[in-house]
Amino acid sequence: MTADQQPDPVTLADIEAAHARIADAVHDTPVLTSRLLDAHTRSKLFFKGEHLQRAGAFKARGASNAVLGLPGDVAARGVATHSSGNHGAALAMAAARRDIPAWIVMPENAPAVKRAAVAGYGATIVDCAPTLAAREETLAEVIDAHGAHVVHPYDDARVIAGQGTVALELLRAVPELDVIAAPVGGGGLLAGIAVAAKALKPSIEVIGVEPAGADDAFRSFGLGELQPQTNPQTIADGLRTSLGVRNFALIQRFVDTIVTVSEEAIVEAMRLQWTRMKAVVEPSGAVPFAGALEHGERFAGRRCGIVISGGNVDLDRLPW
């Protein structure tokens, strides 16, 4: 799907419809708290536990919304995407639920735990070089060969609407939030959360958090023009992607700010969440909490929603 074919911008109504559509396919994940981490940041933190989501990440929401909404004749051809792991596993899971085939183009250096998850749901993995150009070229070959329907990892209104259900649940559980912080890679999660949060509570501050070594969203937001992702260097493998066109338009409109965090802060956030919360959080999922650690002045004294986006960790490649 090209930018000029994109449906109307995602609205709260789209997100509410997605929530109803995927209700039986995903978990309403718990909101976790920790007095120790509150004290550490001098704030009140409410962690939305998407590491406990089906397939281990928030991606289950957008993928399920896209797949469950497909007409029968389209679904029968199967679905395809490119992914470093979490979206691929989520799409494979959603395809298995509808008993349709799925082809997932994955970079050769994708974490082993994420490759195993994709294969475990019965999808066909197609390897490619670890570049965005290679991913898109290989996906085009898959489409030509099989006629499958593409579900983009983030630059898709159905996916954005599905990811936005995170904010619906979080604000229903904790309506008194002052701020929501979410990671940003391709931007589907942040865009969806921002649309829902601002519609439900216009006064809330929405903060995107991004690794300093993969800062295209930060640069794009600051310059007001989409900037390319070039040679991303971060352990947060799920955030190495380029910001999507549709996502950027929504982020410009509904997100208050984007901040970056160091690799050291990401590792510290992971360690604290593992040891203090007993939560197995992957590097990308630790990025928003890293924002609270490294930009404490923005969070201190406030009620903060922190989205833990995923927990698919390669235990053989831990950063400590």
Give every CB contact of residue 120 below 8 A, 6+ residues apart in sequence.
89
Q: In the annotation, is 114 catalytic? A: no
Catalytic residue chosen out of the listed positions 43, 83, 284, 309: 309
In whole angstroms, give the CA distance from residue 130 to residue 84: 9
CA atoms 166, 217, 14, 71: torsion sign: negative
Which of 289, 311, 319 is closest to 34 using CA atoms? 289
Q: Which of 44, 48, 59, 114 is catalytic?
A: 59
Report, as residue numbers or ranges, the catalytic residues: 59, 309
